[in-house]
Amino acid sequence: MKFRKVGVIGAGQMGNGIAHVCALAGYEVALHDVSRERIEAGLATIDGNMSRQVASDRITAEQRDAALARISIATSMESFEDADLVIESATENEDVKRKIFAELCPHLREDALLATNTSSISITRLAASTDRPERFMGLHFMNPVPVMELVELVRGIATDDATFESIRDFADSLGKKIAHAEDFPAFIVNRILLPMINEAVYTLYEGVGSVESIDKAMKLGANHPMGPLQLADFIGLDTCLSIMQVLHDGLSDSKYRPCPLLVKYVEAGWLGRKTQRGFYDYRGEKPVPTR
């Protein structure tokens, strides 16, 4: 199946990045969120990110302008009636995603494909909540989407071969590299990455090291480009907690138990960069550790 128009549900950090790369690849994009203000904020982020690409000579000003012109505001689910593919990129909450699919599916063409950008939730279970489980699969982009090369492709038990091949070709057309993952909790990247981040939070919780020491140790001792606590703030501590809960519930292993300190930060609303406070406080000129 050849795609012309792609719908993206969710204009936040991941959704606007997905819309960005789809528009640059030549697809018409309809971008939706819970309010027009959030969509416009997403469009402003896309504009700013594309302008940085122009400044660094990664794209031309003409490519930026043409890509931005391909993105339209989708004010309701009816806007996806002519979409060939719709990618859900809402918050990492299964109930929220199921509600979106229930509202979306009646407005889709019978042959339209559905994908979810979930980073941890069962593709088979999400697919079963739609009217097209055979035309549904996981398409997990990495953050930030315009920069990171990888996407994980995850089939549900019902995903048919034609759907898989079409979405694989679509990912190729975006210039992405593909890793095939089985439908297990958190797939490949987050199955490995999030327990490491959770262990870093435990290391802080138990007083083994400070925020700065833990991040410095992993950057200089393991050659990581970003410390694990800095990375957690970048991902969003609520997302980190959600993924650890999926791992803990899905695999029933105590090694995936979320650190109580991570839970406390989320309960406080200190979610990282997006709320200006997490393991670092971002409200000043320079990030300052909060512990």
Catalytic residues: 119, 140, 152, 190
Sort strands 136-141 and 71-73 into parallel, antiparallel or unpaired. unpaired
Peptide bond connecting 185 to the previous residue in cis, omega within 30 degrees of 0:
no
Q: Do residues 154 and 125 make contact, with C-beta atoms less than 8 angstroms apart?
A: no
Distance CA 79, CA 83 (A): 8
- Cβ burial of 38 (10 Å; 0-12, 13-18, 19+) is middle
Q: Dihedral sign, CA of 237, 239, 242, 247? A: negative
Distance CA 212, CA 195 (A): 19
HSE toward the beta carbon, residue 32, CA cutoff 13 A: 21
